[in-house]
């Protein structure tokens, strides 16, 4: 899987399962390029999410919701993820 495919999958899953007003997904894989744990085919994503639904709950629970939705991608294709919720 390439980064563009992953971004589309992540966007589709989040938009389907959450009420999102704004979603920005950025590839930050370059930040891990020289790390020993960096693996080919695994990416670093930064998610910026504006969601009234997620703002109603504690941030830690909102992050857990996102992790649950992206469980498969986190296991297979995501090395690191930043989640900013507004």
**Per-residue pLDDT averaged across 50-77, rounded?**
97
Q: What is the pLDDT of residues 7-36, one digit of tens each?
A: 999 999 999 999 999 999 999 987 666 655
Q: How far is CA 45 from CA 56, 57, in A?
A: 24, 23
Torsion angle of the four alpha carbons 6, 85, 58, 10, in this order, in degrees rounded to the nearest 10 = -10
pTM of the model: 0.88
Was domain 3-33+40-85 assigned CATH 3.30.70.3000?
no
Q: What is the pLDDT of residues 41-55, one digit of tens each?
A: 689 999 999 999 999
pLDDT at 29: 85
Residue 69 near residue 17, CB atoms below 8 Å: yes
Residue 44 near residue 74, CB atoms below 8 Å: no
Q: Where exactly are the structural domains of the chain?
A: 3-33+40-85
pLDDT at 42: 85
């Amino acid at each position: 899987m390439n980064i563009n495919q992953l971004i589309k999958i992540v966007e589709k899953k989040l938009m389907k399962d959450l009420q999102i007003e704004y979603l920005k997904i950025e590839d930050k894989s370059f930040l891990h390029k020289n790390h020993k744990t960096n693996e080919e085919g695994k990416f670093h994503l930064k998610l910026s999410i504006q969601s009234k639904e997620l703002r109603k709950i504690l941030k830690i629970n909102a992050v857990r919701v996102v992790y649950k939705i992206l469980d498969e991608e986190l296991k297979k294709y995501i090395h690191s993820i930043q989640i900013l919720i507004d």
